[in-house]
């Protein structure tokens, strides 16, 4: 049974975590479902924006289900759990569509790292952010000490990861991690997504690539993606492909 749903609302897609009995904590199956949904969304030319939400519970997401990784040996934990989750969250961050995450409640550990992979975040006033991994003898493994440094800054990440302090929605808004505080974050996120309907999908996609290149979010791939998009529209590219098919030497027009 799926615990990460892909729901379509016209040109808006919604990725919804649905494991409320475990406070929407990630399992291996949920990570695999998220990965598959991201692949599907990148191929979908109808979808213009993605809203990320979670089933109602006391937390938006408490991170990783400890029963999924607690008995893994060190190498399995590092290679199969940490690297897999890191890769899939990176996959979400690099989605070609803009993403807005609606945090309806507390967001801890891997849940915070998951939210950090979105482009924008809307929080309820009562939500808090935390990195409680040290309380169970581990460290953040899905970009908590990497991507979060860029978004929250070193001192705030140290507050959470070293001292176990929670960050309020107001502080998250003040530092730019949250773009808005709302009593109904999912509705607000859907409204933000809907505002893209009058804008160019290709311009938005290219702007996202350019911004990601600037902040080193998969910089190499972003630069080559932009360059490839430019050259693919040239007459030289058309001539090169045609000449290859015709088994002749190309004559490039330089256009």
Q: Using 50, 70 and 90 to split pLDDT, how confident is the model at 72?
A: confident
Cα gap 91→69, rounded to integer Å:
21
Of 77-81, 167-171, 178-182, the one with minimum mean pLDDT is 77-81
Nearest to 181 by CA among 132, 110, 142, 129: 129
User: In Å, what is the CA distance from 126 to each residue of 53, 56, 167, 170, 215?
Assistant: 16, 14, 11, 9, 30
Give the pLDDT confidence score for residue 80 in this predicted structure.
76
pLDDT (tens digit, 9 = 90+) per residue, 211-236?
Answer: 988 887 777 666 777 777 777 788 87
Q: Which residue has the higher pLDDT, 193 or 222?
A: 193
Cβ atoms within 10 Å, residue 125: 12
**pLDDT for residue 7 is more than 90:** yes
pLDDT (tens digit, 9 = 90+) per residue, 13-71?
Answer: 999 999 999 999 999 899 999 999 999 999 999 999 999 999 999 999 998 887 777 77
Helix runs in the chain, H state only: 28-43, 66-69, 74-76, 83-93, 110-116, 147-152, 154-163, 169-174, 185-194, 201-214, 219-231, 235-246
**CB burial of residue 66 (10 Å; 0-12, 13-18, 19+):** middle
Pair 157, 145: CB distance under 8 Å: yes
Q: Using 50, 70 and 90 to split pLDDT, how confident is the model at 100?
A: very high
Q: In this structure, which CATH number among 1.10.760.10, 3.90.226.10, 3.40.190.10, 3.40.50.1370 belongs to the domain 4-197?
A: 3.90.226.10
Give the pLDDT confidence score for residue 142 in this predicted structure.
87
Give the pLDDT confidence score for residue 6 in this predicted structure.
97
Q: Which residues pair with 91 in a beta bridge?
A: none
Q: Read off the pTM.
A: 0.89
pLDDT (tens digit, 9 = 90+) per residue, 116-142?
Answer: 999 999 999 999 999 999 988 888 888
Query: Which residues neighbour 208 within 8 Å (Cβ) at sequence distance 6 or greater?
Result: 96, 98, 119
Give the pLDDT confidence score for residue 221 in this predicted structure.
67
pLDDT > 90: percent of the chain:
64
**Averaged pLDDT, 109-120:** 96
* Spatial strand order in the sheet of 49-54: 4-9, 12-17, 49-54, 99-103, 120-123, 180-181
What mean pLDDT, rounded, does the chain reach?
A: 91
Q: Which residue has the higher pLDDT, 239 or 116?
A: 116
Give the pLDDT confidence score for residue 231 in this predicted structure.
76
**Averaged pLDDT, 106-113:** 96
**Averaged pLDDT, 193-216:** 90
**Averaged pLDDT, 159-184:** 97
- Per-domain residue ranges for the chain? 4-197, 201-246
**Averaged pLDDT, 243-255:** 85
Tokens of 86: 């890191």
């Amino acid at each position: 049974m799926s615990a990460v749903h892909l729901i379509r609302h016209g040109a808006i897609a919604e990725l919804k975590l649905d494991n409320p009995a475990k406070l929407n904590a990630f399992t291996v199956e949920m990570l695999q479902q998220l990965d598959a949904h991201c692949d599907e969304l990148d191929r979908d030319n109808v979808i213009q924006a993605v809203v990320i939400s979670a089933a109602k519970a006391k937390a938006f997401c408490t991170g990783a289900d400890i029963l999924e990784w607690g008995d893994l040996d060190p190498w399995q934990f590092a290679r199969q759990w940490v690297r897999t989750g890191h890769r899939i969250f990176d996959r979400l961050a690099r989605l070609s569509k803009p993403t807005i995450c609606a945090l309806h409640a507390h967001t801890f550990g891997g849940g915070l790292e998951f939210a950090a992979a979105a482009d924008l975040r809307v929080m309820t006033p009562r939500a808090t952010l935390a990195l409680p991994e040290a309380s169970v003898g581990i460290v953040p493994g899905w970009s908590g000490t990497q991507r979060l440094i860029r978004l929250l800054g070193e001192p705030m990440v140290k507050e959470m990861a070293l001292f176990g302090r929670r960050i309020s929605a107001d502080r998250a808004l003040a530092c730019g991690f949250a773009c808005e505080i709302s009593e109904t974050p999912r509705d607000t996120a859907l409204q933000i997504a809907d505002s893209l309907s009058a804008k160019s999908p290709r311009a938005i996609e290219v702007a996202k690539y350019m911004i990601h290149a600037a902040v080193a979010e998969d910089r190499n791939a972003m630069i080559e993606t932009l360059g490839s998009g430019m050259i693919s529209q040239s007459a030289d590219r058309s001539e090169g492909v045609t000449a290859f098919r015709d088994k002749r030497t190309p004559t490039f027009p330089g256009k």
